[in-house]
Amino acid sequence: MNKLKSWLSIPLILLIGAIGIQTISSCAKIDDDPLSLPSPDDPEAIAEFLNAYSSDGSNSDGSSNSNASSPVATYGALKACGKYICGSKTGTTPVQVRGVSFFWSNTGWGGDKFYNATVVNSMVDDWKAQIVRAAMGYSESGGYKTDASNWTRAKAVVDAAIAKGVYVIIDWHSHDAHNEKAAATTFFTQTVSEYHNNPHVIFEIYNEPLNTTSWSTIRTYAQDVISSIRSAGANNLILVGTPSWSANPNLAMASPLTDDNVAYVFHFYAASHTTSTHSSNITTVLNNNKPIFVSEYGTTHYDGGNPNEGNYNTHSAANTDAWHTFMDNNKISSCAWSITDKYEGSAFFGTSNSGIGTINAANLADPSKMTASGKYIYNKLKDYAANSGDGTSNGNGGEVSLTRCKNASNQDYYCNWGTGCFAIDPAFAESTGDCNELVTECRLYGNGLYVNSSVEGLGISCNGTRVL
């Protein structure tokens, strides 16, 4: 697999050509440009473009931006789009992102120690998550109601996800949110003041209503909280939990929400909920032209793989595979539960009732530290990333994966990038014998453009010297 490293990205290479710095046309454009390039005669537009796609993900004012290949930079803000989720940069083309959910943020529950940038970075760089979910508990012991440090922790996750260029769900992780409406309204209104219209951020206003809570009750709560969020100036996508621990979104179709940028939440635990027993609940929603978002799923029994109930070893790869096939077929985004080393089967880390140990990059990416469920999710997300072919990378670690794509005549081209398929110059390939071997560093100075990069598999010239 070819890789482009350091400061240079394909859109930046295209920009080099646009501003006329000694480039050659070795990449034949097959499809539409994935990004709109600035005019070579507009210095301000060029500066804005370079700011948005700098290598360290920072704007000149110090605020964070993802690099050009991250999910958010590629798709833009997620939005409801009929029965799908689309991106602000994809028009009506559906977008599907996959990632992970943190465990309850509650102090002393075991998941709180994972709420930091080190873990977010590993989930993005090593696990290849495109989205993370900060599950902020409220009324349960150690929750936000009595301990404000829950939001401090959750905010650390939110900010780290933004810095990595991935999506992040701010989740009011409650089973009783309709009785917490005043607190939830205050929280989301305050949160909106900082994150309104940030393309990375999604609001989930109700995690899992109990089976005793009707859709009518949920709807009344949701309409009011959504109205407060919109009044505060946020147009972000909003996720709304549904009856019976978010297993019955179909019941919401009797009286759908009136906001046009919401998705209905579905949760499953694969050892208890199968596609044969529960997928029709999703299909009903899709048939009503409304989107579903699986903001939480587990590979185990619905109790999370509780060892006290004899359910620790209930991980079901087969059932989870079936769900992934269903979600893929319907372009449904998802987050796997959960980032913790609590002794339960759905935890990602810890084996035989022993924890992960030191929370560092090495341990977070070490399969020997993972449960059966953790290993499954780790490998599944990595497999999706390796085979996606959409040209996105997970975060701004300075690396973009390039894969082959085929044109209408079934000929191989390099490389997939967004909706574009770009070709290596055949003559140049023949003259070198191997398009993948040469690596050249070049520095280009002009019009505020500073590039210091290693380049593989890309036909460009640098200071008059032709390089791959």
Dihedral sign for Cα atoms in the order 114, 115, 121, 125: positive
Judge whether 456 counts as a catalytic residue: no
The amino acid at residue 252 is: A
- Three-class SS state of 394: coil
Q: Which of 204, 296, 344, 456 is catalytic?
A: 296
Dist CA 174 CA 221 (whole Å): 13
Dist CA 395 CA 205 (whole Å): 26
First-to-last C-alpha distance (Å) of the chain: 15
Contact 253/279 with Cβ under 8 angstroms? Answer: no
Judge whether 44 counts as a catalytic residue: no
Q: Is 18 exposed, middle or buried (0-12, 13-18, 19+ CB in 10 A)?
A: middle
CB atoms within 10 A of CB 358: 8
Structure tokens at 209: 């209503």
Structure tokens at 401: 């994966």
Helix (H) or strand (E) holding 263: strand 262-269
Q: Which string of b and e fits 255-272 if b means at least 16 CB within 10 Å? A: eebeeebbbbbbbbbbbb
CB atoms within 10 A of CB 190: 11
Q: Which of 208, 309, 399, 441 is catalytic?
A: 208
Helix (H) or strand (E) holding 298: strand 292-298
- Extract long-range pairs of 84-92: CB within 8 Å, 24+ residues apart: 84/291, 84/331, 85/237, 85/263, 85/291, 85/293, 85/331, 85/333, 88/199
- Whether the bond between 421 and the residue before it is cis, its omega within 30 degrees of 0, is no
Dist CA 105 CA 101 (whole Å): 11
Residue listed under structure tokens 């980032």? 339
Contact 439/8 with Cβ under 8 angstroms? Answer: no
What residues act catalytically?
208, 296
